[in-house]
Amino acid sequence: ARAALTDVLAAAQQARSGLGAFNVIQLEHAEAIVAGAEAAGRPTVLQVSENAVRYHGALAPVGRAMLEVADAAGVPVVVHLDHATDVDLVEQALTLGFTSVMFDGSTLPVEENLATTRRVVERAHDRGASVEAEIGEIGGKDGVHAPGVRTRPEDAARFVEETGIDAVAVAVGSSHAMTTRTARLDLDLIATIRDAVPVPLVLHGSSGVPDDHLREAVSAGMTKINISTHLNGTFTRAVRDMLAADPALVDPRKYLGAARTATAQEVERLVRLLAG
């Protein structure tokens, strides 16, 4: 069933477990993510990024599909807009029935990020939806952020206090879109931010973080764990293998189905790993 981010995050935080949040590009991703979460018997987050919306040309077709898949799920599923910089897109997501949005003002001047995030929080809370926002840059996105960027605990605390957001994305050593799992997170910084900030913490760029280190990050205090590139790797490898094995194959259901199965299995594994 469709669920509120604050509810599933509060439960995860209390249990000191991690909540896997996985990016959707097309229907098969949403189906695979929910199948994996159901197999693990755990809640999850279906999220679509502003970039993926741009790829489709509109939010509604993919967004409505995500909402339908979430509503039919046997576990709680948050439907979330990821990395939105466009306030109109946030409005569209809220109108469709998304239960959560991320407003990403990390490239704006600090005061403008604060003011716009505050406005988004007001709109979202009016409709019973949650807001995640970002303070400090998380490496890799658009190729302009360096992996060495770190969020200062006092900045994160002030940002949460001044905006009323429900979850905060912090820069602690990960970097977006890594295809090797070699990132090292600053676990002491995670623990310090955790103690300084009253809302759950979000890890972006989790694809580059190896399994055991993801567990340590959750133990140190990260709660929402965003994974995209890693699952795309799983999905695409399955497509590539199937097409290579059968050059005469033309039915997309064959290779998308194989990719969906492989993705669901990896989601189940990750959801269990993060849950602890």
Partner touching 227 among Zn ion, ligand G3H, none, CB below 5 to 8 Å by kind = ligand G3H
Of 48, 101, 36, 124, whose CA–CA distance to 74 is shortest?
Answer: 36
Q: If we measure between CA atoms, which residue out of 110, 67, 75, 68 comes closest to residue 92?
A: 67
Across 152-260, the runs of DSSP E, i.e. the strands, are: 167-169, 201-203, 222-227
Contacting range for ligand G3H; rule: CB under 6 A; set: 2-10, 33-41, 111-119, 202-210: 202-210
CB of 104 to ligand G3H, least distance (A): 9
Count Cβ atoms within 10 A of the Cβ of residue 13 and give its class: 0-12 exposed, 13-18 middle, 19 or more buried.
buried
Q: Note whether 271 binds ligand G3H by CB under 6 A.
A: no
3-state secondary structure of 83: strand
- Closer to ligand G3H by CB, 28 or 82: give it: 82
What is the contact surface with Zn ion in residues (CB under 5 A)?
A: 204
Nearer to ligand G3H among residue 67 and residue 231 (C-beta): 231
* Interface segment toward ligand G3H; rule CB under 6 A; list 124-132, 173-181, 188-196, 245-253: 173-181
* C-alpha–C-alpha distance, residues 177 and 105, integer Å: 19
Using the minimum distance from each CB to ligand G3H, give the nearer residue, 76 or 208: 208
**DSSP bridge pairs for 132:** 102, 167
- Is 230 assigned to a binding site? no
CB of 212 to ligand G3H, least distance (A): 17
- Name the residue with the smallest CB distance to Zn ion: 204
Note the maximum CA span of the chain: 59
CB-based contact 113:162 (threshold 8 Å):
no
Q: Which amino acid, one-letter code, is at 176?
A: H
Contact 99, 66 (CB under 8 A): no
Q: How far is the CB of 81 from Zn ion (least distance, A)?
A: 12
- Binder of ligand G3H out of 2, 80, 230, 260 (CB under 6 A): 230
The nearest distance, CB 226 to Zn ion, in angstroms, is 5
- Under the rule (CB under 6 A), what is the footprint of ligand G3H? 23, 82-83, 176-178, 204-208, 226-230
Residues assigned a catalytic role = 82
